[in-house]
Structures are given as structure tokens and as C-alpha cells.
Amino acid sequence: MMTAVTESWVFTLLEALSVLFIFLIGLGLLTVIVLYIIDVTQTQQTIRRNYPVIGRFRYFFEHMGEFFRQYFFAMDREEMPFNRAERSWAYRAAKDENNTIAFGSTRDLRPAGSVLFVNCPYPTLGEDAVPAREVIVGPQCAKPYATDSLINISGMSFGALSVPAVRALSNGASKAGCWMNTGEGGLSPYHLEGGADLVFQIGTAKFGVRDEAGNLSDAKLEEIAAHESVRMFEIKLSQGAKPGKGGILPGAKVTEEIARIRGIKVGQDALSPNRHPDINNADELLDMIERIRRVTGKPVGFKTVVGAYGWLETLFETINRRGKESAPDFITVDGADGGTGAAPMALMDYVGLPLNESLPMMIDMLCRYNLRDRVKVICSGKLITPAGVAWALAVGADFVTSARGFMFALGCIQALQCNKNTCPTGITTHNPKLQRGLVSKDKAERVANYVKNMNYEVGLLAHSCGVREPRELKRFHARIVMENGKSVPLDELYPPVVPNAGV
């Protein structure tokens, strides 16, 4: 039987444990409240800002994935559309963190199609390196565009992107000295406020430059061109995500502001035809280019995904018949492996040629028709790392653009929610609660860092090949692995083209 002293001691202990338990619960609740306040007020990490406290687990699991991926997660190079290694490079570049790796590459160099750069025994010394060469687009225009930028922001429309995302991209592009394509959704004040160079895209619905009947308006073109920061105009014939299909912005997303910018009605579905109704052949395409160039005084080109290519031969023959001055000032080649927008799986998976086939084809065709010096070439399609950009420059591109690379710089976690209004990082949603997590000022710095580190590492690749700057890369500086496991130089796979040969 318990003595009174023992019983008293037990009760005292239980009382102390109860107090301790209540104290720990209170401390836990206080900790949660403090973490909640810290998370919702900090501006560095979107997930924590949108999902306070709970969002912290994402970073813990991401960190633990490095140790447990062989049991629970995919390997570095296994995921699609972008694997862990590619995403990690983009994240670290945007955060301006150390991008070195240890203990060897996880990239398998054996599969067919793998690109290998040919290092020079006498690489370019730092003191011999020079900045990227400036390229002039449309030198015959009243207002040509000169820039040395290698990597630029591809077309993503306001409406598809949120206000803070557009604002961050605009300010980041200005800091980095690259250009930003507006996408087909028109010119918003958020594009302009950063002061970045802009390429105004004219989609099949002519949003932003249409009259009440939906036709191209010279007055609207003049209004857009009056902005000094709008440097070029791009006619979109097709895009990588959905070749042969126009864009769709549901009426629920068409706010008063978006409707005003696009020139449509509030709440009305923003439907783009699958092609320009007023462009039916090569002559009409060239007429449209000449009209926009005459009205704006600025360089004009077009964007396309290459599939059937006979129309390009017809176009280039028509240019030579009409005179080289009738040519587009640039052509943007979008690979079928590109595309940020919502699109039917059938189109995204099966229509169009990938960039590794279409870009060399476009360059060689321009050379064959003796138009390469006249027409600059821009390319896009999953080029989010330095190797991809360097490959494109070696093949012959003048510029590279990326959409998803810059989305990663903004904090995209590849949640695959772009076609919904539920993007957890606030990039492709109009939900104010989710947009709140994307702080434009902070993300603009990451956009600028991404460009800076991209340029630096593309330069590293160029210097290792023995050239002074990236635009000096040629096809013989890279090799591609064939089915037999051996690699061949790109200039053997795509031999030099003699101008006018067979024309």
C-alpha cells in the first residue's frame, strides 16, 4: 500500500508532467505561429509564402531525395520534360549559387543523339576572351535592332502568365540586358515597366493590334511601335506546344484589364485561329512582313515550327524573285519539343520536328538560297542549360530564346499545372492568393542571375573549344553519338551548303 509520502510524490510528478506537457504544446503552437508569420512575410521562397509552415517540408523532402532517390525517386537524368539535373542547374544559376558537381557526371554519354563538345588542346585564355559579338537585325530598317544577347525570354502571354510573373521577367530582362517576347497576348504595362527590350508578337488573332473586326490595324501597330522599348515584331505562324492550333484563354480568365489589352470583350473566350486568315501563301506572308515593317520602321520576322518544309523553299524562291529586301529580318525556329502552354497531347507529342533536326535544316536552306546573311535565326525548344545554347550557336543560330528556363528562374517546380489556374508558385495563375507568393522584385534578381550564369557557362564551353566568344562556335566544335556508339562531327552530319546550289 502506498504511503502518504509516496502518493504525494506521485501526484507531484504527474502534476509536473502535465505542466510540462501543456508547456510543450504551448511552445509548439507558439513555434508554429512564429514560423507562420516568418513564412508569410518573407519574400525569398514562393512555396513557403503561399503555404506557410507546411511548405517547409518541400525543401526537407527535396534535400532528403538526394540520399533516398535510389529507393523512392527517379535518378538525375530520368524525368521528363526536364530532369532533376537540368532543373537543379537552372535553380542554382537563378540563385547565383555554386554550380559545380562532384565525383563525376551522371549523364550517360553513350545513347544515340548525345552531343559532345570537342575540347581544344590550347583553350582560350581568359585574357584572350572577348564579349559576345553584337548582331544587327534588320540593318535596312528605319530603326534596326543591335544586341549581343545570347539567351532571351521566349513568348509567354500576359494572361497565360500572372502579373507578378510578367513584372519579374520584365525587370529581370532589363537587369540582364536581354530581350523579352510579349507572347501573343498583347503589350501590358507590366512588360513596359521594367524597361527591357521587347519583341512584340502578333498571333493569329492579332491581339493588341486588331481593329473591332479583328483585322490588323495600322493605327494600333503605330501605337505599339511608338514605345521605344519595343524593338522588333514577330508574326507567330505556329509554336512548339501546339503546331497547327491557336491559343485559348478561357473567358473566366479574361479580366477587364486583359480584355482591354487584347482588344476583346470581358469574359469572352480569347480564341486564336489555327493560322492567320489573311496569310495563305508566300507572297501574302511577305506582304504582311513588309506592311508591318513599313508602318513600324522596325525589324519584322516570323516564328514557326518546321514540319513540312516545301513551303520554305517556295518562300525563299519568292524572296529571291522579289528581291532580298522583301525577306523577313529574322526567323524564329521553335522545336516541337518546346512549348509552355496548354495543348492537346496529340499535338504536343506527335506534330512537328524537334529542334535538333529543324534548326540545321533552316540554316542550311537559308544558305542554299543565299539568304543567310540577310535573315537572322532565333531558336527555341528545351534549351535551358549552357550545353543546349552552345549547341544551337554551333549549328548556326544567332540567338536562343527560352520560356521554361525562365519559368524555373521564377521558381517553377514543374508541377504541370500550367493549363489550370492552380499553379502553386503563382507563375501561371490569376488566383491572388497564389500570386502573392511570387515577389517580383526578388524574382527579377533571379532572372538576371540566370542570364548571367548562362552567358558565363556558355563562354566556358566556347573557350574550352578554343574560340574567343560563343558566336565563333562552329559545327566542327561538336560531335553527336550515332547508333553504333561512335560519334561524328556535326559538320559531317550536316555538311556545309554551297549558296545557290541546285536553286
Pair 41, 165 in one domain: no
The verdict on residue 97 lying in a domain is no
Mean pLDDT for 15-30 is 86
pLDDT tens, residue by residue, 198-246: 999 999 989 999 998 889 999 999 999 999 999 999 999 987 767 767 7
pLDDT tens, residue by residue, 443-467: 999 999 999 999 999 999 999 999 9
Whether pLDDT at 70 is above 50: no
| β 248-249/270-271 pair status | antiparallel
Number of structural domains the chain divides into:
2
The verdict on residue 113 lying in a domain is no
Pair 317, 206 in one domain: yes
d(CA 22, CA 432): 38
The verdict on residue 454 lying in a domain is yes
Mean pLDDT for 393-422 is 87
Instruction: Report pLDDT for 296.
Output: 98
The verdict on residue 472 lying in a domain is yes
Ranges of beta strands (E only) in 399-439 are: 399-402
| Closest by CA position to 395, among listed 431, 366, 356, 430 | 356
pLDDT tens, residue by residue, 193-205: 999 999 999 999 8
> For the domain that residue 258 is a member of, what is the CATH number?
3.20.20.70
Q: Are 289 and 300 in contact (CB under 8 A)?
A: yes
How far is Cα of residue 448 from the mean position of the Cα atoms in its chain? 13
Pair 39, 154 in one domain: no
Pair 260, 133 in one domain: yes
What are 252's three cell numbers? Answer: 473566366
d(CA 350, CA 307): 11
Pair 488, 342 in one domain: yes
Domain hosting 366: range is 128-493
Pair 149, 29 in one domain: no
pTM of the model: 0.84
Could you tell me if residue 216 is left (phi over 0), alpha (psi between -120 and 50 degrees) or otherwise beta? beta
Sheet of 487-489, strand order:
115-117, 478-481, 487-489
- Answer with the one of 35, 50, 73 that is the final residue of a domain: 73
The three-point CA angle 394-399-400 to 5° equals 90
Q: Mean of the per-residue pLDDT values for the chain?
A: 88
Q: Which residue has the cell 557526371?
A: 105
How many angstroms separate the Cα of 240 from the Cα of each of 154, 185, 202, 310, 313? Answer: 11, 17, 16, 19, 21
The DSSP code sequence of 327-371 is S-SEEEEE-TT---S---HHHHHHSS--HHHHHHHHHHHHHHTT-
Share of the chain above pLDDT 90, in %: 53
Q: Are 123 and 464 in contact (CB under 8 A)?
A: yes
